[in-house]
A and B are shown apart, each in its own frame.
Chain A
Amino acid sequence: MAYLKTANSNILAICSCVPKHIEKTADYTHITPEERELFTKTTGIKERRVADADVTCSDLCYTAANHLLKKYNCAEEIDIVIFVSQSPDYYLPATSILLQNRLGLKKDCIAFDINLGCSGYVYGLSVISNLLQSGQLKKGLLLVGDKSTTSTNFTDKSAYPLFGDAGTATLLEHSTTKNDWHFNLQSDGSGKNAIIMEHGHSRNPFDKTLEDVVEIEPGISRAKKHLALNGMDIFNFALKEAALNISTLFEKSNLSKENTDYFVLHQANKLINESVRKKLKVEPEKTPYSIDMFGNTSSASIPLTLCYKLEEALLTKRLTLLLSGFGVGYSWGSVILETENVYTKLIEYDRA
């Protein structure tokens, strides 16, 4: 395992931005009403937010970040911006650099991308807190999210109704008064085929056949360019690894589950998350959900859940949080951290 501690970092604020357009599971006509009902019961997903064709993940993250920069009037103080996503604006250059310019940040600003999905928020926190802990960098922006809805095909019932779009911004600062953050980060590339977009990049370059939709099995038709998801493999991976990763982190850090206020899990699928929760013997009220209203929003799901469900607690209390992301890669990781008086905001994307 990769257990590490970081010191001297503090989360000031989190903003999540979602598109206005809603797609309801009940309206997903590719499957029968009975299948829709079972899908909602199993995954928890009632509706998802879907971005317009010309809106990118970076647009959502920009809107979220801009809200925080205006509120804290700190654009000139940002020393580092990290964009964690698997839906960048371009193959190159890195989207974080475009956002540095678009957000009006100074040129003396570190900017780079991290290509991770479900585990991305936790990994992003580990990287940015490492870079903030020495005090040479004072403030940072962690921009995390995905536009997953264009990666899936409408006639692929295994993937299309699962994903929603969201972009988030977390404003962090160097602070010498805060407790250490404890991470347990893991990877297993043998699971690459569980969730994969296999074509259109270096290994399998673009060709005309990428657009051709073919039937994989009844109810599942997609083109090579689309995301392919093996639900059973990813489900088994999460059952095997997620709770174990979290339990190991509590052991290594000498912190206790009982003193943890909330367990905020990546919003993968309610059945998975409930299984993880029960394995950890955590009370339902300590594990908030956003999947019912936003679907699986990839790396954005943890900060989105914080904004959607814990706004008041984060603002008014000192909290110990366990955050855990697990999925595509396989990549997974957890962090235990403390927060105090964190401002959060959930906003809808406004083109203007």
Chain B
Amino acid sequence: MISIEEFTKGLEVEFEDVEPGTLTPETNYKNIKGWSSMHALIIIAYVDSTCNIILSGADLKSAQTIRDLYNIVIEKIK
């Protein structure tokens, strides 16, 4: 199972426009510079490809931090 560190790092790579090393599990991802709905699609595609889980709009709305997202994914995997 993917670790929270791998999950965060992978997300940072997918975003591309985020400075390397700036995302942590406690980052409120909706506060990253230039956040837009495109980032939400990137998150959904990333989680689908790495964890085979499809996050809903409600999942993204309820999560604040990357750790929240990770916890939702882990819960769905179970």
Interface residues, chain A, with chain B CB atoms under 8 Å away:
32, 34-35, 37-39, 41-43, 158, 230-233, 235-236, 239-240, 269, 271-272, 274-275, 278
Contacts and interface: CB of A to CB of B under 8 A. Distances in A.
Interface string B44-61: 110011000011110010
5 contacts: A35-B38, A42-B42, A232-B44, A239-B45, A272-B45
A275 B34 contact: no
B34 A240 contact: no
A35 B16 CA distance: 13
A278 B50 CA distance: 11
Given A38-B17, A41-B16, A240-B54, A158 B48 contact: no
A76 to B, nearest CB: 49
A273 to B, nearest CB: 11
Given A42-B38, A231-B37, A239 B60 contact: no
Contacts of A272: 45
Most-contacted residue by chain B among A231, A269, A278 (CB, 10 A): A231
Nearest to A236: B54
Contact of B41 (A231, A240, A278): A231
Given A32-B34, A35-B36, A39-B38, A239 B57 contact: no
B40 interface: yes
Contacts of B49: 275, 278
B34 A38 contact: yes
A38 B56 CA distance: 21
B56 to A, nearest CB: 6
Nearest to A31: B36
Contact of B57 (A42, A233, A274): A233
Contacts of B34: 32, 34-35, 38
Contacts of A239: 44-45, 48, 54
